[in-house]
Amino acid sequence: MTGKKLTCLECAQINRVPEDRLSAGPKCGTCGAALMPAKAIDVDWTTLQKAARADEVPLVVDFWAPWCGPCKMMGPEFSKAAGTLAGRARLVKLNTEDFPQSSQTYGIRGIPTMIRFEKGREAKRQAGAMRADGIVAFAG
Ligand code: ZN
Is 68 among the catalytic positions?
yes
Tell me which residue of 38, 42, 35, 112 sits closest to 82, measured CA to CA.
38
Tell me which residue of 62, 38, 76 sits closest to 115, measured CA to CA.
62
pLDDT at 34: 96
pLDDT in tens, 12-23: 999 999 999 999
Q: Compute, in angstroms, the gap from residue 36 CA to the centroid of ligand 1.
A: 12
pLDDT in tens, 2-48: 899 999 999 999 999 999 999 999 999 999 999 999 999 999 999 99
Q: Give this prediction's pTM.
A: 0.95
- Residues 37-61, mean pLDDT to the nearest whole number: 96
Q: Compute, in angstroms, the gap from residue 127 CA to the centroid of ligand 1.
A: 30
Is 31 among the catalytic positions?
no
The answer, yes or no, to whether residue 1 has pLDDT greater than 70, is no
Q: Compute, in angstroms, the gap from residue 27 CA to the centroid of ligand 1.
A: 8
CA 123 to chain centroid, in Å, comes to: 13
**What are the structural domains of the chain?**
38-139 (3.40.30.10)
Q: Compute, in angstroms, the gap from residue 14 CA to the centroid of ligand 1.
A: 8
